[in-house]
Amino acid sequence: MGRPTHLSDADVEQFGAELDALRDEVMKSLGKDDARYIYRVLNTQRFSEVAGRALLFAGILPPAWLAGTALLSLSKILENMEIGHNAMHGQWDWMQDPALDSATYDWDNTCPGREWKHSHNYMHHTYTNIVGMDRDVGYSILRMSEDQKWNPAFLFQPFYVLALAAFFQWGVALHDLEWERVGKDKSYAEALSQGRDIWRKVRRQVLKDYVLFPVLAGPMAPFVFSGNMVANFNRNVWSFLIIFCGHFTEEAEMFRIEETENETQGEWYLRQMLASSNVNGSVPFHVLTGHLGYQIEHHLFPDMPSNRYREIGPKIQAIAERYNLNYNTGPFSKQLGGVAKRILRMALPHRRKRKGPMPSSIHHERPAAKTQAQRRTRTNGSAATAAAH
Amino acid sequence: MKPIVRKVLKSSLAKSLTTPLSVDHYLGLIDSKLSVNEPRGRIADVQRQTPDSVTLTIAPNDNWITPRPGQHILFGIDLDGVRHRRCFSIASAARNDRVEITVKRNGDGVVSNFLVDRAKAGQLVYLSHPEGEFYPNVEPPAKALLLSAGSGITPVMSILRSWIDQDCLPDVVFMHYASTDEDMIYTDELDALADAHASLSLVIRYTQEHGRIDGDTLDREMHELGERMTWLCGPSGFMDAAESLLDARTTKPIFREQFEASRREAAQGEGEVHFIKSDVAASGDEGSLLEVAENAGLNPPYGCRMGICHSCKCRVSEGTVRDLRNNEVREIRDTDIQICIHAAAGDVALEI
Ligand SMILES: Cc1cc2nc3c(=O)[nH]c(=O)nc-3n(C[C@H](O)[C@H](O)[C@@H](O)COP(=O)(O)OP(=O)(O)OC[C@H]3O[C@@H](n4cnc5c(N)ncnc54)[C@H](O)[C@@H]3O)c2cc1C
Ligand code: FES
C-alpha cells in the first residue's frame, strides 16, 4: 500500500532522525554485557549439540533418542536463528572476535553463508516487501501480494507452503540461484558457479549429518540418522514459521517499485516498519527466534545486536504511536493465522482492493509541523540504485 | 594436549564432523585457551616493577613456537567485549616456555593502561606467532652493544637473556636510557647478571638527570665501540639520534626495532572516502585511511599502526590509494590493504 499520506516530508525526516538517534545511543553503549550474552548463547548451543549427539549414540533407548533429538534441534535452531543469522548481519562485528565475524561466519545449514548474505542482507533487507525486487516476497514460488500476477499454479500454493516449511533450508539454499532470471539477465555460467558453491556446502552438510555421524555410531546408525533428520526438520519448520510471521502477516504492507524510488533514509525506515511484523513472546521465545519476533526492530537496525531489540522495542512502539503508524504486533497464534489467511487468499485470483489513500489503521492527524526537510538519500537503500543493479 | 589427541583433532574427519564451525569452537567448552592451531595463553604472573609499567608472564598453549631473540607478538585481549590487538616485544629468553612481556603506559592508550592498572593472573590472552627481524640469523658477535631507551628495553632484554641462556654471551655493553631511576625496569635482574658475568657491563642513564644521548657520553662510556654490532630500540627520536651518532663511530651492522612509525611527512590524501557498510563518507585529505575512518567516528581494528601486524586489513571495493611507506600510487579493486599505511589518492570505497 506504500507510504501513508498523513505524514509530510518533514515529518518523515523527523521520524528518521529520531530512529537514527536511538540507534546511535544503543550502538555507543555496546559492551561487556552484550558480549557475555552472546558467549552464553554460543556455549549453550555448543553444549546442547555435543550432548544431543552423544545421546543419539544411545538412541536405541527411546528417552535418549527423544532427548538427543530435542537438544540437537535446540542447537540447530539457536545456531541458525540467534547466532548465524545475526552474526552474518554483522551484529557482533564490533567485538572483533573472528568466531563471530560476518565476513567469515558460515552457518549450519545447506545455504552457503556468502550466497545468503547477498539474497538476504542485501536484496531482502534493502528492498523489503517491494514486489518484484524483494525475492523473499513469495520466494518466487508463492503469491504473497495482490501485485504479483496470478496464475492457476498458485491454486496449489497451500501445498507448496507445507513442502517449503519441511525443506526450508533447501529452499533457502536454492533461493539465491534466482533461477527465474537465468537465461534472461543472468548467465548460465554465473548460475553454474553459484550452483557449485551450493553443492560444496550441501555435500559437507549431508556428509556430516547423514553419513559420518551415523557411521561413527555403528549399530546405532539408524537412530542417529533419524535424530539428525528430525532435528533438521524441526529447525526448518521453526525458521519457516518465524520468517513468514515477519513479513506476510495480514497487516504487513507491500510496496511497488514506483513508490520507493529515491527513498530518503526516513522513508526507508518507514517502509521497513510497515513491511515488518512482530510476534509477542517470552524472553526464551525471542532467543529461539533469533529475536526475529522483533522483526520491526531488526529491519530498522539489521546490524544492532539482537539482545538489544528487546530493550528498544517499547521505544520504537512509542515512536510509531506518536506518528500514527501501525506497529504490527500480536501473539504468535494471531500472526500465524494472518499468514495462513494471506496464503489462502492469494491462491485465488483477485486484485488489490483500493482502500482509498491509506490503510484503515492509520489516522489523519499529523504530528506538530516540522521545518522543511532536506532529503538525505540513503546510498544503499534507494530503489534507484536497485533498478540499476 | 597429547600429540595423539592433537593429531585426531587436526584430522579432516574432525573437520568434517564440526563443519561449518571448527574444532576450536567446541574445545572452548572445556577451556578457551585450547585450540588446535592458534597460540593463546593465560597470564600466569603479574609484576609491577614501576608505577607506569607491568611485566606479564604468560603460559602459552601448545601452539606456541619458539621465537628468535628480540621478536614480537601481536597480543590480543578482550576489554569490554571488544578484542584489541597490540604489538609487544617478547622480553624473555627465546627458549623460555613462558612468554614475558613488559608493557609501558602509552598516553591514554586503552590496552597499555588496562594492563598496567588492572591485568590479573588467570586472564585469557590471544597470541600470534612470533614475528620480526630484529635479530637476523647471525652468529653471536664477539662484541655487542645493546642500546635502548624507555620501553625499548624489552627486545634487547630478550637478546641478552637468550645469550646467557644459551651460554654464548659475548662482550656486551648494555646501555639504557630511562627518564628517572623510578622508571627503570629490570634493575635488579640486570645488576645481578652484571655481577655474575664479567663480560657484561651496564651503562644506565637517566635523561632527567644526565640528559639525552650524545657523542661525549658514548665516547666516554664505551670501549671499542667501533667493533660492536649494535641492537637499537626506543622511541623514534632516540633511535634517529643514536643511529647518526653510531654511524659516525662504527661500520659494524646496526639492527633496529621500531615501536612506532617513524615520523613520515604528515600523511596527506586526496579525494572522497566512502565507508560502505557504515554508509558514511569523509574527505580523504588528512591522514591515513585508518585516521580518516577514526576521525569520521568509526572504530576499525588496528594493532601497530605502522604496517607490520595486518590487524587493520580492510577491503577496498575500488579506489586509488597511496602507500605511505614509498608513496607508490595504485588503483585497486576488491583488494585487502592495511589502512594504517595507505592514504586516499583519489576516491576510495572501503568495506567498513
Ligand atoms: C614491534 C613492536 C613492539 C612493541 N613492543 C612493546 C613493548 O615491548 N612494550 C611496550 O610497552 N610497548 C611496545 N610497543 C608499543 C605498543 O604496541 C603500544 O604502546 C601499545 O601499547 C599501544 O596500545 P594502547 O592500546 O595502549 O594505545 P592506543 O589506544 O593504541 O593508543 C596509542 C597512542 O595513541 C594515542 N591515541 C589513541 N587514540 C587517539 C586519538 N584518537 N587521537 C590521538 N591520539 C590517540 C594514545 O594516547 C596513545 O599514546 C611495541 C610496538 C611495536 C610496533
Ligand atoms: S595496524 Fe598493524 S598493519 Fe595496520
Residue B262: what pLDDT?
60
Q: Are B147 and B231 in contact (CB under 8 A)?
A: yes
Neighbours of A216 (CB within 10 A): 14
Contacts of B301 in chain A (CB under 8 A): 96
| pLDDT above 60 (res A328) | yes
Judge whether A178 is closer than 8 Å to chain B, CB to CB. no
Residue A148: what pLDDT?
86
Judge whether B17 is closer than 8 Å to chain A, CB to CB. yes
Split at pLDDT 50, 70, 90, the class of A351 is low
DSSP A307: G
| pLDDT above 90 (res A368) | no
How many Å apart are CA A262 and CA A259, to the nearest integer?
9
Indicate yes or no: CB of A204 within 8 angstroms of CB of B13.
no
Residue B144: what pLDDT?
96
Give the nearest partner residue to B26 out of A50, A378, A379, using CB atoms: A50
Please state which of the ranges A84-88, A186-190, A299-303, B241-245 shows the lowest mean pLDDT: A186-190
Ligand 2 atom closest to Cα of B303? 1
On whether residue A150 sits in a domain, the answer given is yes
Q: Are B304 and B87 in contact (CB under 8 A)?
A: yes
pLDDT, average across residues A53-74 = 98
Which domain range does residue A204 map to?
Answer: 9-351
Size of interface A-B (CB pairs under 8 A): 64
How many Å apart are CA A44 and CA A39, to the nearest integer?
8
On whether residue A366 sits in a domain, the answer given is no
pLDDT, average across residues A7-29 = 95
ipTM entry:
0.88
Residues with CB under 6 A from ligand 1: B 72, 86-89, 101-104, 106-112, 151, 154, 259, 294, 304, 306
Give B351 to chain A, closest Cα distance, Å.
10
Residue A363: what pLDDT?
37
Residue B139: what pLDDT?
84
On whether residue A389 sits in a domain, the answer given is no
How many Å apart are CA A371 and CA A373, to the nearest integer?
6
| pLDDT above 50 (res A370) | no
Residue A252: what pLDDT?
87
Q: Which residues contact B92 (CB under 8 A, 6 or more apart)?
A: B57, B98, B99, B100, B158, B161
Q: DSSP 3-state assignment of B78?
A: strand
| pLDDT above 60 (res A372) | no
Q: Which residues contact B263 (CB under 8 A, 6 or more apart)?
A: B236
| Cα of B294 from ligand 2 centre, angstroms | 14
How do the domains of chain B map onto residue ranges? 1-37, 143-258, 272-350
Split at pLDDT 50, 70, 90, the class of A385 is very low
Residue A3: what pLDDT?
66
| Cα of B292 from ligand 1 centre, angstroms | 18
**pLDDT tens sequence across B317-327:** 999 999 988 88
The torsion angles phi and psi of A70, rounded to 5 degrees, stand at: -65, -45
Judge whether B276 is closer than 8 Å to chain A, CB to CB. yes
Split at pLDDT 50, 70, 90, the class of B105 is very high
On whether residue A228 sits in a domain, the answer given is yes
Q: What is the overall mean pLDDT for chain B? A: 93
Model's pTM, two decimal places? 0.89
How many Å apart are CA A31 and CA A14, to the nearest integer?
29
| Cα of B79 from ligand 2 centre, angstroms | 19
| pLDDT above 90 (res B226) | yes
DSSP for A142-160, written as a single string: S--STTSPP-GGGGGHHHH
On whether residue A59 sits in a domain, the answer given is yes
Please state which of the ranges A304-308, A342-346, B148-152 shows the lowest mean pLDDT: A342-346
On whether residue A3 sits in a domain, the answer given is no
The torsion angles phi and psi of A251, rounded to 5 degrees, stand at: -90, -5
The set of long-range contacts for B196-200, using a CB threshold of 8 Å and a minimum separation of 24, is B197/B164, B197/B169, B199/B169, B199/B170, B199/B171, B199/B172, B200/B160, B200/B169, B200/B172, B200/B174
| Cα of B131 from ligand 2 centre, angstroms | 14
- Cell numbers 605502522 label which residue? B306
Contacts of B303 in chain A (CB under 8 A): none
Alpha helices, H only, B211-308: 215-221, 236-247, 289-295
pLDDT, average across residues B169-177 = 97
- Please tell me the total count of domains within chain A: 1
Please state which of the ranges A123-137, B37-51, B109-123 shows the lowest mean pLDDT: A123-137
Judge whether A34 is closer than 8 Å to chain B, CB to CB. yes
DSSP H or E run through A366: none
Indicate yes or no: CB of B25 within 8 angstroms of CB of A99.
yes
**pLDDT tens sequence across A236-294:** 999 999 999 988 888 888 888 888 888 899 999 999 999 999 999 999 999 999 999 99
How many Å apart are CA A141 and CA A164, to the nearest integer?
10
Please state which of the ranges A133-142, B124-133, B188-197 shows the lowest mean pLDDT: A133-142
Tell me the helix, strand and coil percentages in chain B, rounded to 5. Answer: 25, 35, 40
Indicate yes or no: CB of A204 within 8 angstroms of CB of B19.
yes
Fold topology of B143-258: Rossmann fold (3.40.50)
Split at pLDDT 50, 70, 90, the class of A183 is confident
Q: Which residues contact B216 (CB under 8 A, 6 or more apart)?
A: none
How many Å apart are CA B220 and CA B209, to the nearest integer?
17
| pLDDT above 70 (res B266) | no
Query: Which chain B residue has its CA at the smallest distance from A121's CA?
Result: B277
Judge whether B25 is closer than 8 Å to chain A, CB to CB. yes
| Whether residue A214 has a cis bond before it, omega within 30° of 0 | no
Residue B264: what pLDDT?
55
The three-point CA angle B90-B91-B97 to 5° equals: 75
Residue B123: what pLDDT?
97
Measured by CA distance, the residue closest to atom 37 of ligand 1 is B109
Residue A352: what pLDDT?
62
Residue of B39, B254, B250 lying closest to B136 (CA atoms)? B254
Neighbours of A272 (CB within 10 A): 23
Query: Which chain A residue has its CA at the smallest distance from B281's CA?
Result: A379
For residue A266, count CB atoms less than 10 angstroms from its CB and return exposed for 0-12, middle for 13-18, buried for 19 or more.
buried
Residue type, A117: K
| Cα of B84 from ligand 1 centre, angstroms | 11
Q: Are B314 and B305 in contact (CB under 8 A)?
A: no
**pLDDT tens sequence across A209-235:** 999 999 999 999 999 999 999 999 999
Indicate yes or no: CB of A208 within 8 angstroms of CB of B26.
no
Q: Beta B143-149 vs B342-350: how paired, if at all?
A: unpaired
Judge whether B329 is closer than 8 Å to chain A, CB to CB. no
Fold topology of B272-350: Ubiquitin-like (UB roll) (3.10.20)
Q: Beta B40-47 vs B53-60: how paired, if at all?
A: antiparallel
DSSP E strands, B80-162: 82-89, 99-104, 124-126, 143-149
Contacts of A90 in chain B (CB under 8 A): 277
Residue B263: what pLDDT?
46
